[in-house]
Amino acid sequence: MAMTLYDLCGRDERLRFSPYCWRVRMALTHKGLEFTSVAWRFLDKKALAFADYDKVPVLCDGDQVVTDSFEIMRYLDKAYPEAPVLGEGVSYQRVLLFKYFVERSVNPALFRIIAMDLFAAVHPDDRSYFRDTREARFGCTLEEFHQPEQGKQQLKQALAPVRDLLRESTFLDGDAPSGSDYLLFGSMMWAHVVSTQAVVEPGDPVEEWFKRMLNVHNGAASNALTVRDI
Amino acid sequence: MAMTLYDLCGRDERLRFSPYCWRVRMALTHKGLEFTSVAWRFLDKKALAFADYDKVPVLCDGDQVVTDSFEIMRYLDKAYPEAPVLGEGVSYQRVLLFKYFVERSVNPALFRIIAMDLFAAVHPDDRSYFRDTREARFGCTLEEFHQPEQGKQQLKQALAPVRDLLRESTFLDGDAPSGSDYLLFGSMMWAHVVSTQAVVEPGDPVEEWFKRMLNVHNGAASNALTVRDI
């Protein structure tokens, strides 16, 4: 039976940009698991009441309801152990550290670059919710937070270790993509879908890797609708 | 037969502060391998001619001569596969990324904090070599580069993902220390040995982890001579 993934959408229902949903989509695709996605918006809290949760992604797999993107990846590894994405033991610990790296060092830099693009991409009815929650988190207005050049510098510095690794590896996890790749790729898709800004410089190994990632699993992510298509 | 590790020393021959040598020492100890260390100084290039290399650590294991700290760790995993430190496959890829993180994001921040302490710790005969090579790398004088407060801010930010992980794990690699722990610990020992500065705030999970690390493997690192002991 196909699974159901509740996935954030924007002003166009086909616009899917959540970094957390993208990492799950890629993990599902990695394992060859079919899923139906349900477009969800920030204020649709009621639609998630069944999960006792108020954010996406939420995955329904038969009777199982799993919340939180990393928990979903972990669940998928346990329920469908073939082609692990996170792995176990030391391998799992190391990708858990990388998850924190993506969330603590990469995502804040990306947010600086795309804050106003994100605001424009969310559904008009969701915009005041988006503005209020983010401004409370940042302690300043979205307009003040939006500093693309500063964000690009911050991102360039944060990604230095990733760039080093990609000079000797095709994917972060080796010859084929796996959990680490999906975690970073999810965040890069966030920017790719909502913004026309190049977040890294042309020729950057991260840019080359991102293009390779768009093509893996039969180009699963390459057909994603972006703001350039609307 | 015991191995030989060429290890950087400072103004006191017992002062051992190289982050790259420390990670190897910890890997050897992790595997229960005995080794003799040979004190080496920056200008002792001739002493390493046999290895066709000009830096430490250099490990001699019978006929095998291995250079570069990470290559040594890798060699140890291949030659003594019990109790791996780096691991293989995806696990290896993930710790390789962490190595780059330590070298690109942690070490430069630490250097800002301890630049002048390091200068004082190296042997007087090595100081002009140390100054010249580092000033050429940084494009400014050691005195200008030495910005402890800036370095501490930089370190605090870089270590955010590590701090998150240590809130839920005893060691970076899980319930017991392994390669990731030794890579970061080597760098923290660099500061611990040469400087009286607290590089992280008291109560920081990284500080607590560092204390635990001093005690692992029968306190192997806890007896290291520091500048406070001379």
User: Is A173 close to B100, i.e. CB distance below 8 A?
Assistant: no
Choose, out of A77, A88, A92, A93, the residue to mutate when testing the contact with B (most B CBs < 10 Å): A93
User: Is A104 close to B160, i.e. CB distance below 8 A?
Assistant: yes
pLDDT confidence band for B7 (50 / 70 / 90):
very high
Judged by a CB distance cut-off of 8 A, whether residue B96 touches chain A is yes
How many Å apart are CA B182 and CA A178, to the nearest integer? Answer: 25
Q: What angle do CA A158, A164, A165 make, to 5 degrees?
A: 105
Q: Which of residues 74-93 of B touch A (CB under 8 A)?
A: 87, 89-91, 93
Q: What is the pLDDT of residues A212-229, one digit of tens each?
A: 999 999 999 999 999 999
User: Is B100 close to A161, i.e. CB distance below 8 A?
Assistant: yes
Considering only alpha carbons, which residue of chain B is nearest residue A90?
Answer: B173
pLDDT of residue A139: 98
How many Å apart are CA A153 and CA A110, to the nearest integer? Answer: 10
Task: Read off the pLDDT of each residue in B149-176 and give the average, rounded to a whole number.
Answer: 98
Instruction: Judge whether residue A105 has pLDDT over 80.
Output: yes
| Structural domains of chain A in order of their starting residue, each with its CATH number | 3-79 (3.40.30.10), 89-221 (1.20.1050.10)
pLDDT confidence band for B86 (50 / 70 / 90):
very high
Instruction: Judge whether residue B1 has pLDDT over 90.
Output: no
User: Is B174 close to A89, i.e. CB distance below 8 A?
Assistant: yes
User: Is B94 close to A173, i.e. CB distance below 8 A?
Assistant: yes
Task: Read off the pLDDT of each residue in A192-206 and give the average, rounded to a whole number.
Answer: 95
Instruction: Judge whether residue A1 has pLDDT over 80.
Output: no
Residues of chain A positioned with their CB less than 8 A from the CB of B161? 97-98, 100-101, 103-105
Structure tokens at B74: 């890798």
Judged by a CB distance cut-off of 8 A, whether residue B160 touches chain A is yes
User: Is A180 close to B94, i.e. CB distance below 8 A?
Assistant: yes
Judged by a CB distance cut-off of 8 A, whether residue B164 touches chain A is yes
pLDDT of residue A2: 85
Q: Who among B98, B158, B178 is closest to A97 (CB)?
A: B98
Q: Which amino acid is at A167?
A: R
Q: What is the pLDDT of residues A29-61, one digit of tens each?
A: 999 999 999 999 999 999 999 999 999 999 999
**Which residues lie across from B225 on neighbouring strands?**
none
Judged by a CB distance cut-off of 8 A, whether residue A158 touches chain B is yes
Task: Read off the pLDDT of each residue in A84-96 and give the average, rounded to a whole number.
Answer: 98
How many Å apart are CA B18 and CA B186, to the nearest integer? Answer: 8
Considering only alpha carbons, which residue of chain A is nearest residue B92?
Answer: A91
B177: helix, strand or coil: coil
Judged by a CB distance cut-off of 8 A, whether residue B173 touches chain A is yes
Q: Which amino acid is at A81?
A: P
Residues of chain A positioned with their CB less than 8 A from the CB of B108? none
Judged by a CB distance cut-off of 8 A, whether residue A162 touches chain B is yes
Q: Which residues, in sequence order, are CB contacts of A226 under 8 Å at separation 6+?
A: A15, A192, A193, A194
Q: Is B223 exposed, middle or buried (0-12, 13-18, 19+ CB in 10 A)?
A: exposed
Residues of chain A positioned with their CB less than 8 A from the CB of B209? none
Q: Which residues, in sequence order, are CB contacts of A55 under 8 Å at separation 6+?
A: A48, A67
Q: Who among A87, A103, A160 is closest to B90 (CB)?
A: A87
Residue/partner pairs of B50-55 with CB below 8 Å, 24 or more apart: B51/B6
| Chains A–B, number of C-beta pairs less than 8 Å apart | 91
pLDDT confidence band for B2 (50 / 70 / 90):
confident
pLDDT confidence band for B154 (50 / 70 / 90):
very high
How many Å apart are CA A197 and CA A111, to the nearest integer? Answer: 12
- Give B165 to chain A, closest Cα distance, Å: 6
pLDDT confidence band for A179 (50 / 70 / 90):
very high
pLDDT confidence band for A153 (50 / 70 / 90):
very high
pLDDT confidence band for A80 (50 / 70 / 90):
very high
User: Is B173 close to A105, i.e. CB distance below 8 A?
Assistant: no
Q: Which one, of B92, B97, B77, lies nearest residue B27 by Cα? A: B77
Q: What is the pLDDT of residues B163-219, one digit of tens each?
A: 999 999 999 999 999 999 999 999 999 999 999 999 999 999 999 999 999 999 999
Task: Read off the pLDDT of each residue in A139-149 and give the average, rounded to a whole number.
Answer: 98
pLDDT of residue B130: 98
User: Is B105 close to A161, i.e. CB distance below 8 A?
Assistant: yes
